[in-house]
Structure 1
C-alpha cells in the first residue's frame, strides 16, 4: 500500500466526529479547512447517514464524473447506494456529482450538499468560491465546504490535518534573480537542473504563457547544456496530445516545460517542479499552494518545489506561509518527526 493511501485514524476520526456533531445540531453550514488533496473519505459516514434518512446528496467538485475514491469506499460496504453524474441536478440517485460550473443550473433542493474544493485542482479564487458556495446554500438544507481557507463566516468550522500518513506539503524554495529568464538562468537554478539531470529526475517547469513557453524552450534546447536529459515542450493548447510515451523513459532525466498549470502531476509522476516568473500575475497563492499539494501527494519523500522570479510577490509568500502552517498542523496532530 502506498503511504499516501494509509490513514491517520486519529485525525480521520476527528474529522468524522466533528461532521457528525455539526449535523446533529441542525446548523446550516460547516467549513472544513484542510490541505490540498486531502481525502474525501471523511464524508462516507455522513453520506450513509443522509441516505439512511432517505435524503439526497449533491456532491460538487471541479471535475465531470464521480469521485472514485469516495465511490470505491461506499461500494465496499456492500449496501445499495446509487450514484451518478449530473449537469443540472436532475437524477434520482442517492448521491449526484456535479461540476461547480453547473451550480446555477440546479433548480431542486437537496438534503445535503458537499462542496469539495480539495480533491481536485482548484480553479476558483476565494471570491468566486464564496459566491459558488452561497449558491450551494440556496439549493440544500445543509451544506459542507471543504477548502484550503476560511471563505464564509456563517455556521461551524474546524481545521483538519492530513488524514494520509506522511502527507507533508512541500514548502517552496524562493530564488530571486535580475536575469531575464526568457534568455538565461541564474547559476543556482543551473546547479539544481544539473542535479536533477544527474539523478534522472522527472521535472516539470511551469511558465505563465505561450510566449514565455517558446522563449524558455528555445533557450533550454539551444543554449543550455543539459546533455543526457530529455527536454519536452507541452503547451496547454496541446493538452490532448499524448506525452506518456516520452515519460516512460527510464535512463535519463526528463524536463517538461509547460504553460499548462493544470497538467496532471500525478499521471506523469513528476519528482520536482519549478515555477519560472513566479511573481507573474497569472500565479496567485491558491494555485501555487495547489501545485505544492499536488506534487507532495504523489511522492513518498518531500520533493523539490522552486519559485523563481525577479521579486518575491505577496502571493508567493502567502503560498509558502500556507504550506508551513499546514505542516505545523500535521506535525502537531500526527506527532510526526522529520
Structure 2
C-alpha cells in the first residue's frame, strides 16, 4: 500500500470541506487503505461506524484494532446493535437502525461477496449522512458522484486480475455444454485444477452434470455436486492435488472458505441473476490465494451489459496496477 494514498485520505479527513470520498479498489482488498485513519480517530477519542457484510467472527478491522490495543469495540449480534463503543461494526440492515453520531462512517463494499446493489448503498449512506462528520465509500466502483476518488491498486502482490473470457453460443444452455467449454474442462482435468462450475438453477445443474458424464466418462469421477457434498467436503477435496475436481453448484457465493484458487465457469452468465457486482468478485476469487490466477469463463447466448462492464472493470484495475509500476 503506497503511503501517499494513506496521506491523501488523512488530508481529506483533516482539511477537506467535502464530507464524502470514494476509496476505489479491487474486491478482497483488505483494510490496509483505511486502517490508519480508523486508528487515528480512535486514538483521538473519536467514534467510527464500520458497515460490512463480513461474518461477525471474521471482521478484518476488529482483529487489527484489537491487536493495536483498542477494546471499545461492538460487533453486530443478530439485529441488535450496541452504539456505546468507540468502534461499532454492523451490517447493512443494522445500519438502518443507527441512531448515534460518528466522526467517521465507512461502508466496506470490497471485503465480502456483494449482496446489495449500488442504489441500495447510496440510499443507506444517505440515511447515515446526517449522523457523521465524514463518510468513506470503500468500494470497487465510484459511489459518490462529483466527489474525490482515491484509486488504490491491488495490495502486496504483482499478479494481475483474471480478465474474463466470454464464450457465446447458439446452443440451448439448459441442455448442452459447448465444445469450447468441454475442451477447457479437459485441460483443467489434465492439469489437476479445481473448478467451480456455476449454473443458473438446480435443474440446469443436474442436466449439466449428467451431460458431462455422458459425453466423457473420464470426467464422471471428477464431478461433485456441492449441494450433496457440502462446502466442508469441498474444502477437503481441494487439498488433494492428485486429481482434478469439478464442483457444480447453483449457489451464488464465492466459496472463500475453500482455500484454493479456482477455475471458474459461469454457465449462463447472461442470466438476470448475475450483475457486474457478482461477476467482478469471481474475477478476483480465481486468484485469491496465490498469484497463479485461474480462468474465469462466462458462457452465454448473448453478451449483457453486466458482462461487458465486468470485463471493463477487470481491465481498468489491471491498468491501475500497471500504471503503479508493477510488471
The two structures share one fold, judged by TM-score above 0.5: yes
1:36-67 C-alpha deviation (Å, 9 max, x unpaired): 11121222211121112211111101134165
Q: Which residue of 1 aligns with 2:158?
A: 166
Q: Which residue of 2 aligns with 1:59?
A: 50
- Aligned equivalents of 1:268, 1:64: Cα separation in 2: 17
The SS at the match of 1:297 is: coil
- Aligned equivalents of 2:57, 2:175: Cα separation in 1: 44
1:281-337 C-alpha deviation (Å, 9 max, x unpaired): 11111110111112222232222111111122111111001100110001101x122
1:100-141 C-alpha deviation (Å, 9 max, x unpaired): 122111121122111100111111212112112222323322
| 1:136 corresponds to which of 125, 128, 144 | 128
| 1:308 corresponds to which of 294, 299, 315 | 299
**In the alignment, structure 1 residue 31 sits paired with structure 2 residue 9:** no
Aligned CA distance change for structure 1 residues 66 and 272 (closer, same or farther; 3 Å): same
- Aligned equivalents of 1:66, 1:55: Cα separation in 2: 24
The SS at the match of 1:144 is: strand
Deviation at 1:238, TM superposition (A): 8.5
- Aligned equivalents of 1:174, 1:275: Cα separation in 2: 10
Aligned length: 324
Deviation at 1:229, TM superposition (A): 4.3
Structure 2: 5+ residue runs without aligned partners? none
- Aligned equivalents of 2:57, 2:13: Cα separation in 1: 24
Give the TM-score normalised by the residue count of structure 1. 0.88
| 1:205 corresponds to which of 183, 192, 197 | 197
Deviation at 1:166, TM superposition (A): 1.9
- Aligned equivalents of 2:277, 2:219: Cα separation in 1: 35
Mapped contact 1:66–1:84 kept (Cα < 8 A): no
Structure 1: 5+ residue runs without aligned partners? 1-8
- Aligned equivalents of 2:285, 2:192: Cα separation in 1: 21
Q: Which moved more, 1:66-75 or 1:258-267?
A: 66-75
Q: Which residue of 2 aligns with 1:326?
A: 317
Aligned CA distance change for structure 1 residues 76 and 146 (closer, same or farther; 3 Å): same
Give the TM-score normalised by the residue count of structure 2. 0.91
The SS at the match of 2:258 is: helix
